[in-house]
Each structure stands twice: as C-alpha cells, then as structure tokens.
Chain A
Amino acid sequence: MSLLPSTPVTADNLLHEVALLRQKGCRLVTLTCLDTGTAHEIIYHFDKGYEMNHLRLPLAYGQRLVSICSLYPAAMIVENEIKDHFGVAFDGLSVDFQGRLILSENAPKTPMNKRCGMEIDARMLPPVGAAAAVPVTTASGGAA
C-alpha cells in the first residue's frame, strides 16, 4: 500500500511542528481522522504554493489531544467535527460544541469509528415522557 508522504509527529511535539509550518506561511487545509481498528490516526493537511505537507499522528483510543486552534483558529470547526464523529477529545478548543456540531442528541455516538459507541436508531426512540418501547443496546450488547 502506498501511503501519502507525511511527517510523523507525536502528541508531544505536535504544536511545535505545526508552529514551524505556520512560520513558513503554510495554510491549514484540514484534518483527517482515521480509525485503523487498533487506534486513531490524525493527518494534518497543509498547503503552500499548491504543494501539500502532511503530518501524521497516531493516537491511542481515549487519548486526549491538544487543539491547534491557538495557531490556526479555523481548526476549531474540524476538530469539533472529529470529536463528533470519532470521539477524540481536544484540549484548548476555542469553542467546544460538546459533540453536537454535526450530530443531534439522538444520533449514534461516534459513528465513524469501526465500532460505534451506541447502536441507536433514532426513529425507534419513544416520544419524550413515554416509557421505552424498544430496548436500546450498547456496543457491548447490554441493554441501556
């Protein structure tokens, strides 16, 4: 498999590497989060003069990550989206949507992960105030 040419970074030196790219005048294009099945992986895409730079950061499940909002304010929106879709928690977000940027409260949790947090079909949820007609199951199989 041919991977994108990228610079490996860790959670510890991420801000340093991003600051270097900012000094060079790079523009933040976006972030991509992947679930490899054993861990998360976040790729930071930058551009300068139509040439792309990619930083690749492996992240254990449940590990928190520092936000790059302080260097690139526009990262706030995409980091919130990753929080919605993958459940990655960011420290230092300028605005934290609490996992509700894209998803509604009845939506499945972290749907882009290989194993979603909760398998909920929002259409099966009872009206507010009524008793639960359909048991909601969690990923581990138990009733919630």
Chain B
Amino acid sequence: MSRRTVIPFGPQHPVFPEPIQLRLVLEDEKVVEALPVVGYVHRGLEKLAEQKDFQQDVYLIERICGICSFMHAQNYCQGIESIMGITVPPRAQYLRLVWGELHRMHSHLLFLALLADSFGFENLFMQTLRCREDVLEVMEITAGNRIMLTTCCIGGVRKDIPADQLDAVHRTLQRVHGQLKELGSAFADNYTVSRRLKDVGVLSKEKALELGGVGPVAKASGLPMDLRATGYAAYRDLGFEPVVEKNGDCYDRMLVRLRELEQSMDLIHKGIRMMPEGPLAEAVKGNPNGEAAARIEQPRGELLFFIKGNGTKNLERFRARTPTFANLAPLMHMLPGCELADVPVIVVSIDPCISCTER
C-alpha cells in the first residue's frame, strides 16, 4: 500500500517569483490532493482604496500588480468613467490600446521565460528575456517608465506619443517579430519541450467553464472567451478574434500566449496606423455616485473591478477580482493525478500573479 505524504510546495520555491504555498498530498510521487495557502503578500489595498481620493486611487490601483499595472489603472478609469458618464476622446482610446498591448507582450514574454526556466532550459529563458527588454525599452521611450507607466488617468491619458516615437515603436516591434520567430520555433517545435508540456495538467472545456477559468487557461481549453471582443477602448474599430486552442494542457496554454504575442503586435501596428488626432483627456467634474462592474482582458485573463461611489471623493467600496484568483480553482483541479516533477510546470502554465491575487 502506498504511503501518503504532505509536501508544502512553497512559499519559497525556485519557480515562484512570488510567495504562495501549495499543500500537496502525495501517494508516492503522485499528487492526490492540492490546497492553496495564500496571504503572504496581502496588503489590504481594497481598504486603502476606500480611504484615498478616487483620483489618487489611479496610482494606488496601478500598483496592485507589477506586471500588468497599466491595465489595472485602465480598468479602474473605465469603471469610474462609466459611473460619471465621461466619454474618453478617440486618440486616448488608441493610446490606451497601444500601452495595454505592450503590457500584454512583456507579460507573455516573462511567462515564456519563466516557463523555460521551470523545465530547465536556461538558454531559452535568457533569450526570451532579451527579447522582452526590447518591449520594455519601447515603454520607456513612450512613457518614461519601463513598467509603472502612470499614463492612464480618469477621462483619458495624461501623455501623448509623438510621431517619431510611434515610428520607434514600429521599428522595435519589427525587430521583436524576428526574434519571436526564432523563439516561437524553440518553444513550439522543439521535441523535448513538447514532450515536457503535452498532455500535462489537462483541463477540459467543461471543467474550465465550471471552475471559472479565465484568460489563456480558458482559451487553451477551447473557450473563446476574451473581453477584447466586446470592443472596449479602440478594439471595436480594429476587429478582434480570440486565440483558441483545444487540448487544455500546458503546451496549449503556452501556444495561446505565443499566438497572442503575434496578435498584440498586429493590434499595435494597426492601432498606430489608425490613430486619430485630437485631445487626450476629458475634464472630470464632481465625484462618482453609483456602481459599476468594470471588466478588461489582462494578459492572464478577465479582471473585474466592482466600484461603488457615494458622491464624495472617497469610494464606498472598491473590489478587485484578478485573473489568477479565478484560475486558482482550475489549478487545484489540474494538479491531482500528476507527478510531483510536473507540479512546477503546471503551476507556471497558469502564469500566476500572487500580488494581484492577494492585493
């Protein structure tokens, strides 16, 4: 009879850039049960957001996450704008799209690098991070910062991208495109990589829906679910089709992100070409009074903010449900039945962001 062992996987583990613990129950080398233990980086940001001015909250909420920070700010601004009935100028919508997609690109490249690291392909890890540097450089050129752009404000954006910088974005993305071709084949066509990822951590379409999976986790399982299809910001002008795969394993979750990188580059090129001239922001008058459930497609999936204003400068309630929080339940379903050696790859395949999850 096999012996049961409980292994605390994390909170400090080589594959985790942030602390989280998975309590794994093993029978020999096979996982039979998994439980998440969170709370190591809980900062109480929802409470703090209620104590700050709703305009200051843009900076605070942008700092929920250090990877998809711009999209947190964008979603919050969209929520407040819907409560206050503010119409964002078209140029600002396009600028939001460009910065948002750049954030998606650097986030997906970070994911690919960490995935390569998780299965021990150090050279691929370094080459992917080198490619990511080009994307970070574009953000520095256009916004002055590599990650915390702080360019989004309620009513629009606080900074324009002049024509010469837009040309620099085009040129850099062409270079990234060439690098991605080489990296893409190393990820998608390499025999060792595919053997390591295929049929590992499988999540069926039905389970993905039942457990509330979002983003690449849901799309890799065959659910065509991407909020960009609703046409927020400038997506309605550009046309958008979600990237979908069908096997629901680690390989398909990686493939979805590889294809989304190409899609993001297309969207940025198109967005820059179609970007109209005009003002950058609408004036904000008064205080928010009402409720909104604002949603946006982050690199990891659907982000929901529930915002309630009461007519004062302080919000009555701010609630964030981040994509990794939604993907915890699918992760706990993927782990039972797998080998202990597969756990790092499966965990990384959902691209967990613990700062987002715990706020």
Contact = CB atoms under 8 A, between A and B. Distances in A.
B276 interface: no
Interface of A: 1-4, 25, 27-30, 32, 34, 43, 45, 50, 52, 54, 72-74, 76-78, 95, 100-104, 111-112
A45 B291 CA distance: 13
Nearest to A111: B47
A43 B306 CA distance: 10
Contacts of A112: 46-47
A34 B317 contact: yes
Q: Which 9 A-B pairs have the closest CB atoms?
A: A74-B329, A30-B321, A2-B290, A74-B212, A32-B306, A4-B291, A32-B319, A102-B39, A102-B42
Interface residues of B, number: 38
B212 A28 contact: yes
Given A1-B311, A52-B293, A102-B42, A29 B328 contact: no
B302 to A, nearest CB: 7
A77 B328 contact: yes
Interface of B: 35-36, 38-39, 42, 44, 46-47, 83, 209-212, 227, 229-230, 289-293, 295, 302, 304, 306, 308, 310-311, 316-317, 319, 321, 325-326, 328-330, 358
Contact of A104 (B39, B210, B227): B39
A3 B44 contact: no
A102 B304 contact: no
A95 B23 CA distance: 13
Contacts of B38: 101-102
Given A32-B317, A34-B317, A112-B46, A95 B211 contact: no
A74 B326 contact: yes
Nearest to B207: A73
B304 to A, nearest CB: 6
Given A77-B36, A103-B39, 9 more contacts: A4-B291, A30-B326, A34-B308, A50-B227, A52-B295, A54-B293, A77-B328, A102-B358, A112-B47
A90 B111 CA distance: 36
A86 B84 CA distance: 28
Nearest to B333: A73
Nearest to A97: B37
Contacts of B308: 34
A32 B229 CA distance: 25
Contacts of B319: 30, 32
27 contacts: A2-B289, A25-B209, A27-B209, A28-B212, A29-B304, A30-B319, A32-B317, A34-B316, A45-B304, A45-B321, A50-B230, A52-B295, A73-B211, A74-B212, A74-B328, A74-B330, A77-B325, A77-B328, A95-B35, A100-B39, A101-B38, A102-B38, A102-B39, A102-B358, A103-B39, A103-B42, A111-B47
B39 A72 contact: no
